[in-house]
Every structure is written in C-alpha cells, then in structure tokens.
Structure 1
Amino acid sequence: MRRPAQLAERERVAGGLNAAFDRCGEVCKEYAKTFYLATQLMTPERRRAIWAIYVWCRRTDELVDGPNASHMSALALDRWESRLDDIFAGRPYDMLDAALSHTVATFPVDIQASTTNTMKSQEYSQYAPCVQPFRDMIEGMRLDLTKSRYRSFDELYLYCYYVAGTVGLMTVPVMGISPDSRANTETVYKGALALGLANQLTNILRDVGEDARRGRIYLPMDELEMAGLSEDDIFDGRVTDRWRCFMRDQITRARAFFRQAEEGASELNQESRWPVWASLLLYRQILDEIEANDYNNFTKRAYVPKAKKIVALPKAYYRSLMLPSSVRHCSSLTSS
C-alpha cells in the first residue's frame, strides 16, 4: 500500500511543479517577449529553469520598481531575503518559489572567489555559496531605495553587478559548459557577468529619459561633468553635441562588455549557445537603435524592430555552431 501512496505523492508534487514552471513561462512571455523568444531555443529543462530565475529576479525588482514601490522599505527586503533562505532550504512559500527551489537544487551555482572578488570588495571563502548572487541582487534593490546618483563608473559598475551581473552568474549552471571547452570555469562566469553588465548598461542608456522623470540618473556624474553636462541637461532632455559625444563614449563601453561576453558564450554547451548568442546580438542592437535615434534617449525609446530580430536569429545560430574559442585555437595550432 505504501508504494502507490508514495507514487501518488510524487505525481502530485510533479504536477504542482509543472504548473509552477508553466506560470513562470507565462510571466516571462508577458513581460520579456524578446527574452522569452530566446528561451524557446533551449531544451525544456533548461528553459523552465531560466523562466524560474527570471520570475524571481522580476519579483525582486518589482519590490522597489513596481506599482507598490513607494511603500517598500528596507525591512520588506529583509523579509524577502529571509524568504530566499527558505527557497534554498527547500521550503518554498508559493508555487513560483517552488519553481526556483527546484531549479537551484538541480543547477547549483558554484563560483570561485577570484571571480566574485573582481565584482565587489566583499571577501568570500574559496567558493561563494550558491545563494550569493541572489543575495547580491537584493543588495542592489537596497541601493535603489537610498541612491539615485552615481559619482563614478566604479559606483555604477557595482550597482550593475548587483542588479544584472548576478543574473549571468545565476544562469551559467543552467546553460552548462561545453565538454569541448578548455577554458576554466572562472572564464565562463566572467563572460556571463560581462553579458549581464552589458545588458544593464544598455538598459540604462535606453532609459535615460524615463529614469530622469523618476528623478534618477544612472550615469557616472564625474564623466557627465567632464563632458560639460549637468543634471539640468538630463532633466531638460537636451540633445546637444556634448550629449552626443558623451553617449558615444558610453555606448563604446557597453559594446566592450558585449565583446567580453562573447568569450564566455562560445564556451557554453552547444544546446545553450544559440539562445545566449540570440540574446547577446538582439540586445546589442539596442545600442545601434540609440545611435539611429540621434542619441535622443530622452523622448524616444530605442527598440529592435521585429524584422531585425528575425534576421539576428540565423546569425546567432551560426555563431552557436562554432567550437569553443580555446578549442578553435588549439585546432588551428595542430593543423598548422
């Protein structure tokens, strides 16, 4: 009698998990259409895991950037972090938490200290606990509660790591590293970090006007001053030659992070490379659209037209077929 009862319980749990992952997919499809498109190129197990991570990140972001953000407090973030501990301990509060709890148990994050120490000054043991990138994202939300200006790029970099670089670290275990890769794990994690940073910098450059209307400036204040610009130029939405020059420099920096991200993307599992390359190429095109808008990111929102998205997919697929960079290098040496 026990075995049928145990089987029924396993089926009940599996059914609940399936419903939880399906709901994560629905949320992803509704709020991140381009990202959702990229996840369709993944295997079902990896796709569902990425959805679960996305939904947790979105819910975390909405604590300080959603409709109830004005009522949010540091205490609420403390409670959210405590709930995160429960997720990692296998005690999910709701179905969406359950999806993430299953994901982090199936794909645990394992980050070398030398990787994380390049992101922030906090000291880690030999391996950072798998929960650390999730905790760091919550720390980024705490920054948003108290900080609306960034004096230098070093400060902005730390913020970008907290709110987006962490996402790259969360997803590497899901994507997996190619068995043909001879790169070390740190290289792959750094590439994933770079992609998260590049995406966030792109978001910042796309949303300058929107952020300004909320009283926020996510740009290095010292670099604005060096360019002969002030906060009033941002709030007034002045597209001047000085602004264009400043924006060109910011876009160049973002593209450099995308180039660094390419190194990590080429080392991933074959079945994960296509969606990652698709995401990279599609997001990088937002920078092209900012340029096409004559750097007017105050009143025009840069977006990638559907036709360009369609064209990018076969390009991404071609890049995904290439061997990991380290293997290509070794192959070229062998054949020469």
Structure 2
Amino acid sequence: MSEGAALTVPAATGSSFYLAMRILPKDRRNAMYAVYGFCRAVDDIADGGGSSARRMADLERWRADIDDLFATRAPAQLGDLAEAVRRFDLRQADFNAIIDGMAMDAAADIRAPDWATLDLYCDRVASAVGRLSVRIFGMRAEPGEALAHHLGRALQLTNILRDIDEDAAIGRLYLPREALAAAGIFSDEPLDVAADPRLPAACAEVVTRARAHFDQSRRVMDKEPRGAVRAPRLMAAAYESILDRMAARGFAPPRQRVRADRLRVLGAFLRYRVA
C-alpha cells in the first residue's frame, strides 16, 4: 500500500452512501465501510497529483497488497478489509477490476472514449464495487450479479453527467464519442466540449442509457427479499433523483451542480429502513 494510506470510515455522514449504510446490520455496514475505504484510497491515487508513472506504481502497490490479503498475509492496516473478505466471501477479481478501472484514469486522461471503452470503465469502477457490495448485502448470486451490472452503470453514468464541468477542469471527458459525434461535436478537448451549445443533444443518449439501467435494476430488486436490497434501493433513489433533476434542468452551459432530492431520499430511507 502506498505510504501513509489508510482505510477509514467515510466522513460524509450526510451523504446518500452513509444513509444507505445506516440501514444495514452492523457487520454488513462495517464490511461496506472497509470496501468503501479501499475504493476511496485507490480513487485518490488515480485523481491525485504527480506523474502518471507514480500513480500507476502506487496502484500496483495496492494490487500487491490485495494479493497478500488473499494469501492471508494482509498488512495490519487492512485488517477490517480482510475480515470483510473472509466473512462475505469477497472475490479478488473484483478488487483487481477496481484497480484496473483506476489505472484507466491514471495512465492518461480519458477523453471521449467509445461506448465499449466507457462501458468497460463503468464495469470496473462501479459494477465491480457492486459485485462486492451485493455479497455483503446477502443477495443471491445471479440476481446480485445482474443488480451490480445495471445499478453500477446507472450510478456511474449519472456521475459522468453530473461531473462534466469538474472533469473538464482536470482534462477529462467521459461522454462517449459516438454521442458527441451524433450531436455534431467532434472535438475531444474537455473544456471546449463542456462549453459547446450542442452538448445537451449528446447528453440525451447518456440519460436514456442511465434510465434503462435504473429500470433494469428496479426489476431485479422487485423480485428479491426486501432486506437484501434495502441499501441499493436507497442508493438508486438518491442517484435517480439526481438524474431526474439534471434532465429537468438541461445540460446547456452554464450548469449548476445538482444534488439529490432530500425529500425523495428521506422518503426512501423511511420506506426501506425496516426489512
């Protein structure tokens, strides 16, 4: 692990993540905090300063630590994560997929990937987290995999739409080139694209795909025991409210950052907090 790194409980106690975790039993909640801490640590490396080579090296040190964890030689600071792996039979491949996703950011700034590359990125940085999470939630294997696939992509596509300006400021553009080209945008310069008046047309297809993944997620959760899907339902409610608010606002510049609808999230929390 990169020097000085540590896995910590999230500090953003007002976030939708924290609310979703609050409705879990303690052992599952602590396991999710451990996974979240890992994700935050590798994400901070990918988005941090320094050269690409340095960031890639730091990610590879994390990969070595994960290797050690699964070989029962986990560093002391990864004790909570090791306990989560043991208790909930988490898979090494999913941790490595998350690192692979962060490496896509660390190797070079992503600029207008094609849909296939963007889908791979979403699978690694979001659906792989979902595959770890559904095991902790206690879902059955097949519906759990389906939920991780669809909800992970729904959340990540929503993030991409929400963070267009923030990403452009650091030289990144996650909107797919096919959607940009269909809107008549052929530049891959993030700041130019973010300021282009044709951008809303490109965002429309991303919104449509995100909604389709939310719909598929809902179909999966509707068939599962209520207790196993309380946390993902709350996350879906929060992020779908962000997507709805962005779609209502539109994507023409200038854009103000959209937050989750508090009443909608609170309603979901009250509805799903009891199994």
So what's the TM-score if we normalise by structure 1? 0.72
Q: Which residue of 2 aligns with 1:90?
A: 72
Counterparts of 2:189 and 2:111 in 1: how far apart (Å)?
Answer: 15
Return the match for 1:313 from 260, 265, 269.
Answer: 269
Q: Which amino acid aligns with 1:284?
A: E
The secondary structure found in structure 2 opposite 1:265 is helix
More RCO (CA 8 Å, sep 6+): 2
Q: Structure 1 residue 271 and structure 2 residue 216: aligned?
A: no
Return the match for 1:139 from 89, 93, 100.
Answer: 100
Cα separation, partners in 2 of 1:294 and 1:140, compared to 1, 3 Å: same
The secondary structure found in structure 1 opposite 2:12 is helix
Return the match for 2:63 from 81, 94, 97.
Answer: 81
Cα separation, partners in 2 of 1:267 and 1:308, compared to 1, 3 Å: closer
Q: Which amino acid aligns with 2:29?
A: R
2:241 and 2:260 in contact (8 A); partners too = yes
Give 1:1-336 correspondences, 5 Å limit. 24-25=8-9, 28-30=10-12, 33-66=15-48, 72-95=54-77, 97-109=78-90, 130-147=91-108, 148-177=110-139, 185-231=141-187, 234-236=190-192, 237-238=194-195, 240=197, 242-296=198-252, 299-316=255-272
Counterparts of 1:67 and 1:167 in 2: how far apart (Å)?
Answer: 24
Deviations 1:70-120 (A, max 9, x none): 67332222221001111222323243x1111000111013xxxxxxxxxxx
1:208 and 1:298 in contact (8 A); partners too = no
The secondary structure found in structure 2 opposite 1:72 is helix
Q: Which residue of 2 aligns with 1:122?
A: none
Counterparts of 2:13 and 2:76 in 1: how far apart (Å)?
Answer: 20
2:175 and 2:203 in contact (8 A); partners too = no
Deviations 1:172-191 (A, max 9, x none): 2111136xxxxxx3233122
Cα separation, partners in 2 of 1:218 and 1:154, compared to 1, 3 Å: same
Q: Which amino acid aligns with 1:155?
A: T
2:172 and 2:190 in contact (8 A); partners too = no
Deviates more, 1:273-282 or 1:228-237: 228-237
The secondary structure found in structure 2 opposite 1:218 is coil
Cα separation, partners in 2 of 1:52 and 1:269, compared to 1, 3 Å: farther
So what's the TM-score if we normalise by structure 2? 0.87
1:208 and 1:297 in contact (8 A); partners too = no
1:210 and 1:298 in contact (8 A); partners too = no
Unaligned residue ranges in structure 1 (runs of 5+): 1-22, 110-129, 179-184, 322-336
Shift of 1:314: 3.7
The higher radius of gyration belongs to: 1
Shift of 1:298: 5.5
1:258 and 1:284 in contact (8 A); partners too = yes
Counterparts of 2:224 and 2:11 in 1: how far apart (Å)?
Answer: 24
Deviates more, 1:137-146 or 1:201-210: 137-146
Shift of 1:271: 2.4
Deviations 1:18-48 (A, max 9, x none): xxxxx743xx233772101111111111111
Q: CA RMSD in A?
A: 2.6
**Aligned residue pair count:** 268
Q: Kindly, what percent of the aligned residue pairs are identical?
A: 31
The secondary structure found in structure 2 opposite 1:82 is helix
Counterparts of 1:31 and 1:143 in 2: how far apart (Å)?
Answer: 29
2:52 and 2:107 in contact (8 A); partners too = no
Q: Which amino acid aligns with 1:198?
A: A
Q: Which residue of 1 aligns with 2:3?
A: none
Extract structure 1 runs of 4+ deviating beyond 4 A: 67-71
Q: Which amino acid aligns with 1:238?
A: A
Cα separation, partners in 2 of 1:267 and 1:93, compared to 1, 3 Å: farther
Unaligned residue ranges in structure 2 (runs of 5+): 1-6
Cα separation, partners in 2 of 1:294 and 1:315, compared to 1, 3 Å: farther
